[in-house]
Chain A
Amino acid sequence: MLKQIEGSQAMAQAIALCRPEVICAYPITPQTHIVEGVGALVKAGELQDCEFINVESEFAALSVAIGASAAGARAYTATASQGLLFMAEAVYNAAGLGLPIVMTLGNRAIGAPINIWNDHSDAMAMRDAGWIQLFAETNQEAVDLHILAFRLAEELSMPVMVCVDGFILTHAVERVDIPDQAQVDSFLPPYDPVQVLDPDHPASIGAMVGPEAFTEVRFLAHYKQQQALRLIPAFSGELAKIFGRACGGLLRPYRTEDAETIVVAMGSVCGTIKDVVDEMRDEGVGIGVVSLVSYRPFPVEELRRILAPAKNVVVVEKSIAVGVGGPLADNIDGALRNLDGRPRLHSAIAGLGGRPITRASLRRLFRMAVENPWQGAHFLDLNEQAVGREIHRVRKIRRSGSTAENILRQLAAANPLPPG
């Protein structure tokens, strides 16, 4: 059913349609509206046979989900930013135990300095934890990916994180087609665990494994994720048939045919990039974009196939691996490894801590990649003057104080409040 609805509410309804049995909630901006939404559905009795548990921390939220999942219940939780980091130990544990928990991540920057706005630092911090990580471009996709996530998680017995841009998606009201219960039921069978805590068949789960077997256990986790590269398109196809529209997939190329320059990005920014691609195509520039849905597992073969013919690949990403550069760019670089006549890679860091990524800036960036390519990571719309002053200040003064505060002081001095 088509609805004009806030992203978080749409996701809450989609999650409820998946019939979760245990939901653990701890509030953190910008995830709050999602758990409030499912909580209200449980409280009102619209979502039945579901325990909604208000816990005391994110670490407990995922731990409760671990217990529920190991005991055979379909478990769901949601978090963002600092919350994901606070549950980090349990994030790895859930993956290691092979528990098919689904978690929404309302992507948000990580402090310090504290910042509630959107970027992908949180997802990147947990990219190697063993979870499948899917990025939604729109709220429609966020809805579809949650339904896909439960099926995928339970098929592989592996947790899935659905990443949705904080505020940009979670708080945006837009048109979303919410499926009905029969449609979701026809896609998602009841949870049939591969291992379960059962007094009739007592098993010990989560014991110690030494060097004699640890490598094999890790290899099989990697192998299992590789299976998702086959399952994600297969399940997306099933969903597309049921819903009568395109859903999910590993990635989505847009106007990449005969493109000299291909942009790669994840999440909501792909919408803006598509607009820029359209504009530049109208001007005769051969440019396209790949919207990457599945970051983990990383679809190396598909990316190689699509990117190989291009001259330039521009990676626009909302995270910075401090001391190295862009983590997505690194992964794309790895995907292009040993490719004859491989395209030149251009890495751009954009939208950190919620900074808007404008069409004008993207146009400049894509032109620059062709006409005046840079080395290393380019920080889109970096205030070079402010950065330069601060570097100079720190060199001169030992007790130079907080970087964040100094930058803000500079901005205030450059843009004083009007008198009166």
Chain B
Amino acid sequence: MTQAKTLQPDEARQKLKFYQKGTFTVGNRLVSEDERSVQASEDRSNALTSGHRACQGCGEALGARYAIDAAMRATDSDLIAVNATGCLEVFTTPYPETSWQLPWLHSLFGNAAAVATGVAAAMRVKKKKTRVIAQGGDGGTTDIGFQCLSGMFERNDDVLYICYDNEGYMNTGVQRSSATPPAARTATTPAVGPAPGNVFGTGKFLPKIAVAHNIPYVATATVADLHDLERKVLKAMSIHGARYIQINVPCPLGWGAASCDTIKLARLAVESGLYPIFEAEHGRVTSARKIRKQVPVRDYLKLQKRFAHLFRDGVDDPRVARLQAICDAHIAEYGLLGDEDEA
């Protein structure tokens, strides 16, 4: 057990100091108070503090910091986190150091949802108001942790489960998960043979499965829109029962992308239609984030070495068109084109 208290509370929280007054640099301080992000506040909890071992440009570290700080604000820091095995667990807690400034428990790869159920049950029986989140990567969520997650959903346990979806087993060296997109190269779907990369017609989009459980709240989010991510976490924490948020978090290492392109890739994933951003309540989709101007999926794929085999010799592989068709289908299914007002 590592006590975070070795640092003075303000040191650990790294309370923000705004040096560049009157600029936009630190989180929208020129917008009105109620529209500012949690991260822009001097009172942010900084629950995932600096010094961790995430790669440069890690989308998961960014997404986790925004998500957990928003949950901390929503609960007045009366929050416990349960973490599945994975990158987030490993890079934040090389004993005896820890980046977590909230009570945090790691048990196993596949049981985060069930462990969180147990924590929530303990809080209920002890008549405490402490809230519980569980978090994991896509492998720990859509594959090995799926049974425990579905059980938690079905029982409507009072847990917010956050999946940081980087579309593969990045911690173990970039293997395919059921969230890996078609055609993507991973260590177990290598870019060799007549059909290089991950096969088409496989995989699962867990948010839809979560919606099918009729739980109170399901949302997808992206590190390209951190305001939206914070808003969704705050909303999720205003609701009791089983909730699920899946955040698209680009992985520079696993995707073969430049560290500086993390936000750009996350934005292109949304604007191509490949990663639909929506909310659902009690089994019904209630809103979808509109795409201002659809970008060809090609623009998204070209920035990543995991799709490089689709563009060999300057010719687009026919599977680029198949990926485009997937994007178009998402746009049609969720009504992603049009004005924001229509949402």
Contact = CB atoms under 8 A, between A and B. Distances in A.
Interface of A: 21-22, 24, 49-51, 53-57, 59-60, 63-73, 75, 89-90, 93, 97, 195, 197-199, 201-210, 213
B93 A63 contact: no
Interface stretch (B36-44, B58-66, B108-116, B279-287): B108-116
B3 interface: yes
Interface of B: 1-5, 77-80, 82, 89-90, 93-95, 98, 100-108, 110-111, 114-126, 130, 147-148, 150-151, 154-155
Contact of A68 (B4, B98, B101, B121): B121
Contact of B80 (A49, A64, A199, A208): A199
A93 B100 contact: no
A73 B90 contact: no
Of A89, A93, A206, A208, chain B has the most CB atoms within 10 Å of the CB of A206
B78 A199 contact: yes
A22 B118 contact: yes
B151 A60 contact: yes
Given A67-B82, A67-B116, A204 B93 contact: yes
Given A63-B118, A201-B3, A22 B125 contact: yes
Given A71-B80, A73-B126, A56 B118 contact: no
A49 B125 contact: yes
A200 to B, nearest CB: 9
A326 to B, nearest CB: 32
Nearest to A101: B118
Given A51-B121, A208-B89, A208-B90, 15 more contacts: A53-B118, A59-B110, A60-B111, A60-B148, A63-B114, A64-B117, A67-B120, A68-B121, A70-B105, A75-B122, A93-B107, A199-B130, A202-B103, A203-B1, A207-B2
Contacts of A57: 147-148, 151
Contact of B118 (A49, A69, A210): A69
Contact of A67 (B5, B78, B119, B147): B119
A55 B114 contact: yes
Contacts of B107: 63, 66-67, 90, 93, 97, 206
B303 to A, nearest CB: 32
Given A22-B118, A56-B150, A205 B105 contact: yes
B338 to A, nearest CB: 40
A287 B16 CA distance: 78
A324 B95 CA distance: 39
A69 B119 CA distance: 8
Nearest to A198: B103
Contacts of A49: 125
A78 to B, nearest CB: 16
B124 A51 contact: yes
B147 A199 contact: no
Contacts of B105: 67, 70, 197, 204-206
Contacts of B108: 63, 89-90, 93
B119 A197 contact: yes
Nearest 6 pairs of A and B residues by beta carbon: A67-B118, A56-B151, A207-B93, A71-B122, A63-B114, A63-B111
B154 A56 contact: yes
Contacts of B150: 56
A240 B93 CA distance: 46
Nearest to A196: B103
B125 A51 contact: yes
A64 B115 contact: yes
Contacts of B82: 67
B103 A63 contact: no
A3 to B, nearest CB: 28
Contacts of A195: 1
B108 to A, nearest CB: 5
Nearest to B102: A202
A213 B95 CA distance: 10
A214 to B, nearest CB: 10
A21 B125 contact: yes
Contacts of B110: 59, 89
A56 B3 CA distance: 34
Of A55, A64, A199, A201, chain B has the most CB atoms within 10 Å of the CB of A64
A197 B80 contact: yes
Contacts of B111: 59-60, 63, 66, 90
A206 B112 CA distance: 12
B214 to A, nearest CB: 16
A374 B125 CA distance: 57
Contact of B115 (A56, A67, A72, A198): A67
B5 A201 contact: yes
Given A73-B121, A204-B4, A208-B90, A21 B126 contact: yes
Contacts of B98: 204, 207
Contacts of A51: 121-122, 124-125
Nearest to B93: A207
A229 B236 CA distance: 49
B305 to A, nearest CB: 29
Contacts of A206: 105-107
Contacts of B102: 199, 202
Contacts of A67: 82, 105, 107, 114-122
Nearest to A59: B111
Contact of B104 (A60, A204, A213): A204
Contacts of B95: 207-210, 213
A52 to B, nearest CB: 9
A71 B122 CA distance: 6
Given A49-B125, A93-B108, A206-B106, A59 B3 contact: no
